[in-house]
């Protein structure tokens, strides 16, 4: 796509002690048990199927994507992040961190080496394989997270994986538990919906006759369903397909969500497209452009996605939030 770069505790050592009460002391030798040593490294399987050995509790982390950056800060690891990609902008404090590039998949490897990271977080479906290979050749530790067919469940799994990699297992569990709790509350509310409107989600309409949308395999498709809508292109075949204007007109969506709103696409500009004025969504003024903040929440597979779900639910099922 031309404008969008699409688009996380379980290591517990337990020591048991057995006390025998009511027995007189026995003069026998006792053994001294040495304390369990803290592991110096952990080996994990990342989302690319690679076995990655990471220094326990890494202190210098580089993020190669905005969603990774958001996860790291949600995990209270902001003080350990030494650099981010050029698209990371949340939270605001990341803007003061060194920028190692990322446009068109190109990174400043010299700067990355200079920063001496002990962990680099990449994205399986977005970081070019050649970039990962180059980082490995430089003897740097790289772990990929996220998968091509991203869902709400895989986002939670990514947060738990990053928690394992960084020694933040408990915080990762708290985050995912909170996400699930909020999602479950929204599900209960959405269950009261009287209808499920047909939804068209526009990702990129640089060519308005063949815009990109979302389908099964994209977590946005999950959001539409969880928010009480029916994605008109859910079963088209791949996560981010390109469809024709004729297909959209035939589907007659009742709600249109413009994820390209931050790039200037408006309900007024959609109304000017040939034939679109006859769509139910246009007739009933149910075309919703996303702002930058909401757009980021629903386009980045990270911890804020559940907040994005609530925002989308208010568009698809507004009567439930009055």
pLDDT (0 to 100) of residue 94: 96
Give the DSSP letter string of 166-197.
HT-HHHHHHHHHHHHHHHHHHHHHHTT-S---
The phi, psi pair for 242, rounded to 5°, reads -105, 130
Same domain, 56 and 173: yes
pLDDT (0 to 100) of residue 56: 79
Q: How many residues does the chain have?
A: 322
Beta bridge partners of 43: 53
Same domain, 172 and 251: no
Same domain, 211 and 135: no
> Cβ(201)–Cβ(231) under 8 Å?
yes
Q: What is the distance between the alpha carbons of residues 262 and 265, in angstroms, rounded to a whole number?
A: 7
Same domain, 214 and 267: yes
In-domain check, residue 3: no
**β-sheet with 198-202: strand ranges across:** 230-231, 198-202, 255-258, 287-289
In-domain check, residue 183: no
Q: What is the distance between the alpha carbons of residues 186 and 132, in angstroms, rounded to a whole number?
A: 38
Q: How many CB atoms lie within 10 A of CB 2?
A: 8
CATH of the domain at 79: 3.40.50.1980
Q: What is the mean pLDDT of residues 140-155?
A: 90
In-domain check, residue 187: no
Longest CA–CA separation in the chain, Å? 96
> Cβ(239)–Cβ(149) under 8 Å?
yes
Give exposure, 219-234, as e/b (b: 16+ Cβ within 10 Å): bbbbbbbbbbbbbbbb
Which of 126, 145, 177 terminates a domain? The answer is 177
In-domain check, residue 209: yes
Angle at 104 between CA 102 and CA 105, to 5 degrees: 55
Question: pLDDT digits over 32-81, tens only?
Answer: 444 444 568 899 999 999 999 998 799 999 999 999 999 999 999 999 99
What is the pLDDT confidence band of residue 12, given thresholds at 50, 70 and 90?
Answer: very low
pLDDT (0 to 100) of residue 150: 82
Beta bridge partners of 198: 230
Which of 121, 142, 177 terminates a domain? The answer is 177
In-domain check, residue 64: yes
Same domain, 211 and 305: yes
Residue 104 confidence (pLDDT) above 50: yes
Question: pLDDT digits over 264-293, tens only?
Answer: 999 999 999 999 999 999 999 999 999 999
Look at 5-9, 55-59, 101-105, 112-116 and tell me which has the smallest mean pLDDT.
5-9
> Cβ(214)–Cβ(201) under 8 Å?
yes
Angle at 224 between CA 220 and CA 229, to 5 degrees: 165
Number of structural domains in the chain: 2
Token pair, residue 234, equals 């859910």
What is the pLDDT confidence band of residue 22, given thresholds at 50, 70 and 90?
Answer: very low
pLDDT (0 to 100) of residue 39: 64
Residue 231 confidence (pLDDT) above 70: yes
Same domain, 201 and 314: yes
> Cβ(281)–Cβ(256) under 8 Å?
yes
Same domain, 197 and 293: yes
Q: From residue 30, give the alpha-carbon distance in Å to each of 27, 33, 37, 62, 101.
A: 9, 10, 21, 49, 60
In-domain check, residue 12: no
Same domain, 203 and 150: no
What is the span of the domain harbouring residue 259? 192-321
Q: What is the distance between the alpha carbons of residues 293 and 296, in angstroms, rounded to a whole number?
A: 5
Same domain, 47 and 164: yes
Q: What is the distance between the alpha carbons of residues 143 and 117, in angstroms, rounded to a whole number?
A: 12
Mark out the alpha helices in 227-279 (DSSP H runs). Answer: 245-251, 267-271
pLDDT (0 to 100) of residue 32: 43
Which of 177, 207, 241 terminates a domain? The answer is 177
Residue 177 confidence (pLDDT) above 60: yes
Residue 321 confidence (pLDDT) above 60: yes
Same domain, 202 and 154: no
Same domain, 168 and 78: yes
What is the pLDDT confidence band of residue 148, given thresholds at 50, 70 and 90?
Answer: confident
Single pTM value for the model: 0.83
Cβ-count burial of 304 within 10 angstroms (0-12 exposed, 13-18 middle, 19+ buried)?
A: buried
Same domain, 130 and 208: no
Mark out the alpha helices in the chain (DSSP H runs). Answer: 66-74, 109-114, 129-137, 152-166, 169-190, 219-226, 245-251, 267-271, 280-283, 292-299, 305-316
In-domain check, residue 92: yes
In-domain check, residue 25: no
């Amino acid at each position: 796509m031309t404008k969008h770069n699409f688009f996380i505790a379980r290591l517990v050592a337990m020591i048991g002690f057995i006390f025998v009460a009511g027995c007189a002391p026995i003069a026998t030798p006792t053994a001294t048990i040495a304390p369990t040593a803290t592991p110096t490294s952990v080996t994990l399987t990342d989302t690319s199927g690679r076995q990655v050995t990471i220094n326990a509790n890494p202190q210098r982390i580089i993020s190669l994507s905005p969603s990774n950056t958001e996860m790291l800060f949600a995990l209270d690891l902001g003080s350990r992040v030494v650099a981010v990609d050029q698209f990371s902008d949340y939270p605001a404090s990341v803007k003061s961190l060194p920028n190692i590039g990322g446009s068109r998949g190109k990174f400043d490897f010299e700067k990355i080496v200079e920063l001496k990271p002990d962990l680099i977080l990449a994205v399986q479906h977005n970081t070019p394989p050649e970039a990962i290979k180059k980082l490995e050749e430089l003897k740097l530790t790289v772990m990929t997270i996220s998968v091509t067919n991203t869902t709400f469940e895989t986002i939670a799994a990514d947060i738990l994986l990053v928690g394992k990699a960084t020694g933040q297992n408990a915080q990762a569990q708290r985050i995912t538990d909170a996400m699930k709790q909020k999602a479950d509350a929204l599900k209960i509310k959405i269950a009261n919906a009287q209808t499920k409107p047909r939804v068209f989600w526009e990702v990129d309409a640089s060519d308005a006759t063949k815009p990109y949308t979302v389908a099964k395999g994209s977590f946005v498709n999950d959001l539409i369903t969880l928010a009480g809508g029916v994605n008109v292109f859910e079963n088209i075949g791949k996560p981010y397909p390109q469809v024709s204007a004729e297909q959209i007109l035939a589907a007659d969506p009742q709600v249109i969500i413009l994820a390209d709103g931050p790039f200037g696409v408006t309900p007024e500009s959609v109304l000017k497209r040939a034939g679109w004025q006859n769509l139910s969504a246009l007739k009933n003024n149910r075309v919703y452009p996303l702002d930058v903040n909401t757009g980021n929440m629903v386009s980045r597979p990270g911890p804020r996605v559940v907040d994005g779900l609530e925002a989308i639910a208010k568009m698809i099922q507004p009567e439930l939030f009055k």
